[in-house]
Amino acid sequence: MFQVRSLLSALVDRRRTLERNGAFSKLFCMMSEGSIDQQAAKLLKRANEENDDSAEKVQTNKRVKTEEQRTDDERKYPKKKVVLLMAYSGKGYYGMQRNTGTTQFRTIEDDLVTALIKSGCIPEDHGDEMKKMSFQRCARTDKGVSAAGQVVSLKVRLIEDIIEKINKHLPPQIRVLGLKRVTQGFNSKNNCDARTYSYMLPTVAFSQKDYDTTNIAAFRLEPETLQQVNRLFTFYKGTHNFHNFTSQKAASDPSARRYITEMSCGEPFLCSNCEFAVITVRGQSFMLHQIRKMIGLVIAIVKGYAKEEVMERSWGQEKVDVPKAPGLGLVLERVHFDRYNKRFGGDGLHERLEWDREEEAIKAFKEAHIYPTIVETECQEGSMVSWMSTLPIHDFEGTAGETRDNKDLKQDNADDGNDSD
């Protein structure tokens, strides 16, 4: 604009000079108003281009500054491979695993990723593409299932007070309890040797089928019944074909073979005037709903709906109708890294993936958030008693029909799309 004004001013001065010299009319006829406008338009265009160039330079400088700042942050807090020890109450969540792009079904990982971004541990764009931070979880817990010892591996910026800053952006029912550095190639799922779950249930689940469940507070588990329960649980130990204990698995599928090392029910105890017990199961890995079906089948046998021989038959080729116990009481207690600890735990560079120092925090979280939620929800909603009323509709004698199989599949898909309990 300055150049245009200068040109016009120069032309006016030239006109006055020519008028004084008597030559104005001749020169002005040679320079029409159109040519003046053309010159002015060219100068305007040039000025606008220069302005655009200036604006682009400003944006470029801003980007450079932002990149420099990011580089400084990354230099100060370089990304490192770590594992996070997590505990959470699964009530109100659709499992552990995040489904990117879906906000309808809230998961534990949705809240965790948000907290990681807000705390500055990961860049914002890593939230939509979790592969960028090499994220992996040990176990995909099902809808409503809780955890006291879940472990996830990922790359984060090791900022100061990282655990406190992450927890600041998490709801109280989700906590990060520990952090350890691991090898660059560590994968929490692939490096996990075994997983231990617990299942807390009211002992009325083991009552005879003619027991009046309107008075569950009065029920007490007899020692003989507890012995029967534990005897049945021992049958699960070892390697078996558990294709009947999940969905969409054929008997010929090698992945249906799973190895169980421990399964037992502990002594009963009173809580909110009702008697509860905790079942513990440890195995290399578990398929979707496997543990709940293992427990459901034993309950059906103890209550008198099924015979013991159905357990042996369920590992065979035929399709067996196996009931699935409610998900409320299931808790991922801990995950095990025996091979990793043996190889790297004593190399002087890496810590053993054990959480002895966090045991008190784990216990406190369970007593504050997991156990009360299980007990209160069970007492208020009666999920176990409601489920027990469905046992008579199962056919434990014959082969499960196509209708039953399809119905179970639809229910499984409605519950959760994960691959393990």
Active-site residue among 142, 321, 412, 415?
142
Measure the CA–CA gap between 236 and 231, rounded to whole angstroms: 10
Measure the CA–CA gap between 53 and 61, rounded to whole angstroms: 12
Between CA 19 and CA 27, with CA 22 as vertex, the angle to 5 degrees is 75
Tell me: is residue 197 an annotated ligand-binding position.
yes
Q: Which tokens go with 8?
A: 């016009």
One-letter-per-residue 3-state SS of 168-193: HCCCCCEEEEEEEECCCCCCCCCCCC
Helix runs in 140-234, H state only: 162-168, 223-234
**Beta-bridge mates of residue 181:** 82
Measure the CA–CA gap between 106 and 99, rounded to whole angstroms: 9
Measure the CA–CA gap between 185 and 348, rounded to whole angstroms: 18
Q: How many helices (H) and strands (E) does the chain have?
A: 13, 10
Contact 3, 43 (CB under 8 A): yes
Mention every residue, 6+ apart, whose C-beta is less than 8 A from residue 293: 244, 245, 246, 322, 323, 324, 325
* Residue 142 annotated in active site: yes
- Binding residue ranges for substrate: 197
Active-site positions? Answer: 142
- Binding residue ranges: 197
